Structure 1
Amino acid sequence: MQHRSLSARLRSGLFAFVFAPIALVFLGSSMVDVQALAAVGQPLASVEGLIGLALASLLLALIALNCEESSTGMVVTFVWSIIVGATQFYGVARIPFLMKSSVEPDDMSAGVVWSLYPVCLSLMLGACALTIKSVRVRAGQSTRMPLARVHRHAFGTTVAIPAALAVAALMIGAAPSNTTSVAALGLEGMLRGHSMGHGLAVGAGLALALIVVSARWSITGTQLATWLILVLPTYVVVPVWASLTGNVIVPGSSILTKVALACPTLAALGMATGCASLGILWARIRAVRRLDSVEDATYNQGPAAE
């Protein structure tokens, strides 16, 4: 049993060690690429960025699925998110040849600093790692918050959906409202005259963490909240609507500018949250199955002992 546990930790940790930095750098680069073109009125122009968001999220899902027997992989991913996030603040962690727009280091930094995107992502991944660990540790223990055998869909949903709405509202509130200088200065220009709403951004990150924690009781609420509230509107509905109606970002201050600039960030964070939280589901299923097998073995040994 100890050998199997060690093997699961090594497999989960090694997989995350290799693929987590790739996923995190790819996700951030794609998000800023989409944001850069949205800032000049082309929300659907970066096919590379849109596909990159999906592929990076898929890698995070694979990392999460490898955490069913150990939270090591998610812990490694969390640590990598801090390292990659720090480099993104300096504009270093980007993949220029996979980006449609010409994003320079200053543009990369500007694209993540107003939303504190790396901080929000790290908060979510840290909460995910702790929740996976909690699910595994509490299985079969008599604690104040024991692992329930059945999913509490109503409770999980009532926590996750308001939290997702809060993430969207806070991130839109933190977004810049004027992109007049972007054409001349790049993404750095949208920060001209912008009062940073870092308090709102941190609040959005904490709400993301709450969404992930709610998966402990039911994955349904987490998945509904992330895909229907955070991803679908920002990844598909708003960009398509803006392109078809012509309500794209134009020079000048506007609430539509705040919404359009927040969309790529919300899409990236939503996809990452939805995919990473799958690890909690698999860890929960494995923990319940292990608990059932232990109880069955104990029950079968009872009559034999008599």
Structure 2
Amino acid sequence: MVSLSGEVNVSETKVAQTGVRSIPRATLSQHLRSAVFSAVFSPVALIIMGFAVADTQAATAQGQPLSSSEGTVGIVITTLLLALVAANSDESSAGLAVTTVSAVIVGVGQLTGALRAPLWMGIAMSEADSLTSMRWSLYPICVVFICLGATVATIATRRWTVHATLRELEQASAESSQGGSSRVRPFNGQFHNARNRTWVAVFSCVALILGCIMMMVAAPEESLRVASQGLEGLMAENTFRPVPALICALCFGLVAWISQWSTSGPIVASSVLVVIPFSFLIPLWSSLTGAVVTPHSLATTQISLAAPVLSALGLLLPALVMGPLLTRRHVRAQVLRATGHRHGFVDEM
């Protein structure tokens, strides 16, 4: 059994077979430390990231995809903050749980216009502009799905890592009794072998490609009124398409969720298929070739407007996936120390 806090209950038979007298659990202080750290930094990071995405969208809609230095720096800095929150959740899943709750609260504020853009943003944006940048892409909902998937993956990883490590110890004990080596083998349990890493990587690639396509389909096509009305003019000339945006949110959330079986696939796929193209290649190509957002250029407008959103989501995903990765290593090390096996510790992503 596994609780919401990630605590694991192991059967007495398995504990006796492996020599484990007590499986280490997260203490109250560890839960509080992880939760408080997340409560302080995750809301700030999520709010600033939303403003940064809106700022970058505004610059892109005006035909200047590389001019929003504030937006680019804001996305990078907030990604690092959220990565620290995920890394601080290795001892307790409370940190990522608080991040998910914060994402819901911040998302409601972004979708209702309760959160206003700060003064440091390079482009003056009205409340209507901020709402437009959040609503057409359902960006806050995408963030909630990723946070929720990473939280569930971290909780599940805590449970499966204990059981997989105990199975390895049973096998090592059986081999030792038969005259073989008692050294613990590399971490290749049920949920962390080559086959699982392969299907997780393939699923991540397919899901992220589908998610990117859906976000570009959901993006506005016509930018005729942007010059006179700002981002608000996007919705005046285009139809709101929430279904493709929701599919994109589901795809990114599923990739975060399957990181409980392998983290290398989601991290590499997100970096190669999402971050590099939509953060660097597409804005740079648009600036060099002049294929920027202009009226009546439908495909170019959709790709360019979707790029800032996908860039932020692509950075957020691997940042939060650090939670399952570091949790797996921490829990495995705890179990090995509890059994006296301090050697042979090999971990896999």
TM-score between both structures, scaled by the size of structure 1: 0.91
Is the CA contact (8 Å cut-off) linking 1:151 and 1:217 kept in structure 2? no
In 2, Cα distance between the equivalents of 1:241 and 1:91?
A: 33
Identify unmatched segments of 5+ residues in structure 2. Answer: 1-22, 165-188, 342-349
Q: Is 1:283 matched up with 2:327?
A: yes
Is the CA contact (8 Å cut-off) linking 1:30 and 1:50 kept in structure 2? yes
Q: Which residue of 2 aligns with 1:29?
A: 51
Superposition deviation, residue 278 in structure 1:
0.8
Is the CA contact (8 Å cut-off) linking 2:24 and 2:335 kept in structure 1? no
**Count of residues in correspondence between the two structures:** 296
Is the CA contact (8 Å cut-off) linking 2:54 and 2:133 kept in structure 1? yes
Deviates more, 1:2-11 or 1:67-76: 2-11
Indicate the RMSD between aligned Cα atoms, in angstroms. Answer: 2.0
Is the CA contact (8 Å cut-off) linking 1:179 and 1:189 kept in structure 2? yes
Quickly say closer, same or farther: Cα 1:139–1:72, change in 2 above 3 A: same
Q: Is 1:176 matched up with 2:198?
A: no
Secondary structure of the residue aligned to 2:338 is helix
Deviation sequence 1:68-113 (CA, Å, 0-9, x none): 0111011101001111111111233244222111111111110010
Output aligned runs, 1:238-253, within 5 Å. 238-253=282-297
Quickly say closer, same or farther: Cα 1:151–1:78, change in 2 above 3 A: farther
Larger radius of gyration: 2
Runs (4+) of structure 1 exceeding 6 A deviation are none
Deviation sequence 1:241-291 (CA, Å, 0-9, x none): 100111101112410100000000000111111111111110111122223
Deviation sequence 1:192-245 (CA, Å, 0-9, x none): 132222111111111001111222222111111111111111111100110011
> Which amino acid is 1:251 matched to?
P
Output aligned runs, 1:71-150, within 5 Å. 71-141=93-163, 147-148=191-192
In 1, Cα distance between the equivalents of 2:114 and 2:79?
A: 21
Q: Which residue of 2 aligns with 1:217?
A: 261
In 2, Cα distance between the equivalents of 1:229 and 1:94?
A: 32
Superposition deviation, residue 138 in structure 1:
2.7
Please state which structure has a larger fraction of its residues in helix.
1
In 2, Cα distance between the equivalents of 1:134 and 1:24?
A: 24
Is the CA contact (8 Å cut-off) linking 1:139 and 1:291 kept in structure 2? no
In 2, Cα distance between the equivalents of 1:206 and 1:4?
A: 30
Quickly say closer, same or farther: Cα 1:32–1:135, change in 2 above 3 A: same
Q: Is 1:20 matched up with 2:42?
A: yes
Is the CA contact (8 Å cut-off) linking 1:41 and 1:250 kept in structure 2? yes
Identify unmatched segments of 5+ residues in structure 1. Answer: 298-306
Q: Using the aligned pairs only, state the percent identity.
A: 32
Is the CA contact (8 Å cut-off) linking 2:89 and 2:95 kept in structure 1? yes
TM-score between both structures, scaled by the size of structure 2: 0.80
